[in-house]
Amino acid sequence: MHWPGTPVEHLSRFQPAFCPRRGCPEHLRLAPGFRFARHGFYSTRRRWRIPRFRCLVCRGSFSRQSFAVSYYSKRPELLLPIAAGLVGGSAHRQIARTLGCAPTTVTRNAARLGRHAILLLAMARHELRGKIGEPFVFDHFETFEFTQDFPFGVATPVGAKSWYVYDLDPAPHGRTGLITEAQRRRMGLRPNRSRHGGYLSSTRRVFEGLLDLALPGTFTVIGDGHKAYDRAAREAAVRGRLRLEQYPNPERGPKGSPRSEAARQRDERMFPVDLLHKILRHSLAHQRRETIAFGRRLNAVMEQMFLTAVWRNFVKKRSERLARSGTPAMRLGLTRDRWPWTRVFSRRLFPARTPTPPTWDRLYRRLWTSPLYLHNSRHQLKRAF
Ligand SMILES: [Zn+2]
């Protein structure tokens, strides 16, 4: 995957390759030959002599900053420490205290980081189409938005050998387990929430995406016995190509007792996805058990999960114990070395120029609203989109 290592802010001889304005025909240019004129410089207290340009087609002007992930940001130096803090188990206010900024600054930057992560993963996914030969280990990660009355699963297909996270797809569903009379009454007063088809639709969307990624011929998905996976695997779109191996969780004795053969086999086959879920619970403040930092909105939870997937795939080693262990992206041949955060954020990505799966695009725009709020802020800025 072609992705520069040097942040655009550090390039003194930067030249734009396309127009950053969405409405301009030159915005979608992929080939060289973009016509622009130099248009002076500007300076701020933090940055010195930032070159400005003018597009010779739409006559709009822009600067080098229009191509940086820190576009329009007054505290660009916060971006990396916020990303590191989010996947390091800190909640927004804790990060704000450490960095000396307002908590809302962290929240807004977390959304920006999440959007960038969505587009970066979309780019990688486009690159991987039709190339994946390994089985996909598949399960839903359970979480909730605002209250445990509004749970949702997040589909997480992981490479059986590379441990690469290929997709993230939300599946809102009803409350499960034992429900007390008081809980039932309270749930009756809650507003209705669209489930977007729950587990079945979520699984269907992911399976169709995997169809795109896999090498021609049949490919294997390893699941934990969920009924929705069986149903989705029988559907016409994937039938004949998708081979589903299910390993339902067998009865287990008390903690510490030896595992049965079936349990051992299940744990072995599901290991890559079980490990990912452990990492998510361990590394994200949102996802700790019994936390007060739980996610309030599905969109925001998903943004943080996308950032974590970028970290998992490109930044974090497969095994931190082993000195020479590469990243999942290196295993797939997508990258040659481990990326530092500076490389992840070296360029701004534009949604119109990035082929993005429909579900990811809806999350990018924050269209997946939470019903408990009268106000759901969407992402629909004109320039900073
Ligand atoms: Zn233009």
> What is the chain's Cα-based Rg?
22
**CB-neighbour burial class of residue 292 (10 A; exposed 0-12, middle 13-18, buried 19+):** exposed
User: Distance from the CA of 75 to the center of ligand 1, in angstroms?
Assistant: 27
Q: Looking at residue 374, what is its pLDDT?
A: 60
User: Distance from the CA of 312 to the center of ligand 1, in angstroms?
Assistant: 36
Q: Looking at residue 246, what is its pLDDT?
A: 96
Alpha-carbon distance 166 to 163, whole Å? 9
User: Distance from the CA of 32 to the center of ligand 1, in angstroms?
Assistant: 15
Q: Looking at residue 379, what is its pLDDT?
A: 86
Alpha-carbon distance 284 to 298, whole Å? 15
User: Distance from the CA of 5 to the center of ligand 1, in angstroms?
Assistant: 26
User: Distance from the CA of 49 to the center of ligand 1, in angstroms?
Assistant: 22
User: Distance from the CA of 79 to the center of ligand 1, in angstroms?
Assistant: 28
User: Distance from the CA of 21 to the center of ligand 1, in angstroms?
Assistant: 6
Q: Looking at residue 66, what is its pLDDT?
A: 96
For the sheet containing 36-42, what is the strand order? Answer: 36-42, 50-55, 61-63
**CB-neighbour burial class of residue 298 (10 A; exposed 0-12, middle 13-18, buried 19+):** buried
User: Distance from the CA of 43 to the center of ligand 1, in angstroms?
Assistant: 23
**Other C-beta atoms within 10 Å of 143: how many?**
22
User: Distance from the CA of 254 to the center of ligand 1, in angstroms?
Assistant: 66
Alpha-carbon distance 90 to 180, whole Å? 33
Alpha-carbon distance 363 to 121, whole Å? 13
Size of the chain in residues: 385
User: Distance from the CA of 22 to the center of ligand 1, in angstroms?
Assistant: 8
Backbone angles phi and psi of 232, in degrees to 5: -65, -35
User: Distance from the CA of 126 to the center of ligand 1, in angstroms?
Assistant: 26
Instruction: Name the residue among 314, 283, 282, 302 with its Cα closest to residue 155.
Output: 302
Instruction: Name the residue among 288, 252, 313 with its Cα closest to residue 122.
Output: 313
Q: Which two tokens stand for residue 134?
A: 């390994």
**Other C-beta atoms within 10 Å of 178: how many?**
6
Residue written as tokens 């520069």? 4
Backbone angles phi and psi of 336, in degrees to 5: -95, -25
Q: Which two tokens stand for residue 329?
A: 């992206």
User: Distance from the CA of 50 to the center of ligand 1, in angstroms?
Assistant: 19
User: Distance from the CA of 342 to the center of ligand 1, in angstroms?
Assistant: 28
User: Distance from the CA of 57 to the center of ligand 1, in angstroms?
Assistant: 5
Q: Looking at residue 251, what is its pLDDT?
A: 87
**Cα–Cα separations (whole angstroms), residue 3 to 120, 342, 343, 348:** 10, 12, 8, 11
CB 151 within 8 A of CB 144: yes
Backbone angles phi and psi of 185, in degrees to 5: -65, -45
User: Distance from the CA of 347 to the center of ligand 1, in angstroms?
Assistant: 19
User: Distance from the CA of 277 to the center of ligand 1, in angstroms?
Assistant: 44
User: Distance from the CA of 119 to the center of ligand 1, in angstroms?
Assistant: 22
Residue written as tokens 């970028």? 310
Instruction: Name the residue among 140, 124, 99 with its Cα closest to residue 327.
Output: 124
User: Distance from the CA of 18 to the center of ligand 1, in angstroms?
Assistant: 8
The 8-class DSSP code of residue 66 comes to G
User: Distance from the CA of 383 to the center of ligand 1, in angstroms?
Assistant: 13
Structure pTM? 0.95
pLDDT per residue, tens digit, the chain (385 aa), is 999 999 999 998 999 999 999 999 999 999 999 999 999 999 988 788 999 999 999 999 999 999 999 999 989 999 999 999 999 999 999 999 999 999 999 999 999 999 999 999 999 999 999 999 999 999 999 998 888 889 999 999 999 999 999 999 999 998 888 889 998 998 888 888 888 899 999 999 999 999 999 999 999 999 999 999 999 999 989 989 999 999 998 888 888 888 999 999 999 999 999 999 999 999 999 898 889 889 888 999 999 999 999 999 999 999 889 888 899 999 999 999 999 999 999 999 999 999 999 999 999 999 887 777 666 778 888 777 8
